Amino acid sequence: MITTDFVPGSPCWLDLGAPDVRAAAAFYGTVLGWEYESMGEGEDMEGGMFRKDGKIVAGLGKLTEEGARSAWMIYFSVADADSVTQAVERAGGTVRVAPMDLEGWGRMAQYSDPLGGQFAVWQPGTDNGVELVDEPGSLCWTELYTSDAAAAKEFYGGVLGWRFSDMEVPGGGGTYALVTPAGLPEERMHGGVMEMSKENLALTNGRPYWHPVFAVADCDAAVAKVTEGGGSVQMAPQDMEGVGRLAVCLDPSNADFVVLTPPRS
């Protein structure tokens, strides 16, 4: 489960780079019940925050990188972004954005793993991260799709100190590696690594990619809102034993995410 104590190695923030900020704000408002709070003034909505029940759940910004696809970026909490940057370079990763301070809120950096999967880290200052998780309309899991799970586990284990435990995917779908921050019990697992062929990583032309999983009260109703809002569905709602009912979706700009209704306790 994801919590807001944000121990090192745990997901603490996420933001979306979108070509049309206004359209993205409207889409996620409909699908997840989010309210958008612009950080700018006037009609030019270049970026801001999403809130659910008054609490910050994610960020949104204008996609400006040349040739980049619209996608969610997941940030993991770290004690020292500079030392993590050195670890990334030693492990064969790439520094996309060098560590930088953001007005006292914290220090961030962005990277690519050795196969091209993009992720980020956040060293907290006055801001620790999102304010709501593991509730309907908020982040409840993180997931990496990659063509080489063993290489991913070696890289992220060395850089972020994660521990992994493998489980068989129901229905013979392969092996899924569960991710837990260093020093915590498996009850605190926050994500997974799924190996797929490069042919099944079409969104990124075969490169690995991270995506968020959002908890929703009703998976099928959320998927209906996705399609009504101009998005699409990569995997229709399915029941997975011990996990819940989930669907893999794309927003209108093809940023991928998952909606999940956990099993009833």
Q: How much is the pLDDT for 175?
A: 87
Whole-model pTM: value is: 0.95
pLDDT of the residue at 241 = 84
- Amino acid letter, 265: S
As a whole number of Å, the CA-based R_g of the chain is: 17
Q: Which amino acid is at 264?
A: R
**What is the per-residue pLDDT for 46?**
79
pLDDT at 168: 85
Please give the domain boundaries of the chain with CATH numbers for all domains: 11-124 (3.10.180.10), 138-260 (3.10.180.10)
Two structure tokens written together for 172: 């013979």
DSSP character for 133? Answer: B
Site of tokens 């991913």: 152
Please tell me the predicted confidence (pLDDT) of residue 172. Answer: 66
∠ CA(244), CA(167), CA(116), 5° rounding?
A: 90
- Cα separation, 225 vs 214, whole angstroms: 14
Please give the pLDDT value at position 108.
97
Q: Do 33 and 25 meet the contact criterion of CB atoms below 8 Å apart? A: no
Tens place of pLDDT per residue across the chain (265 aa): 899 999 999 999 999 999 999 999 999 999 999 999 998 655 455 789 999 999 999 999 999 888 889 999 999 999 999 999 999 999 999 999 999 999 889 999 999 999 999 999 999 999 999 999 999 999 999 999 999 999 999 999 999 999 999 998 766 667 899 999 999 999 999 999 999 999 999 999 999 999 999 999 999 999 999 999 999 999 999 998 889 999 999 999 999 999 999 987 6
Residue length, the chain? 265
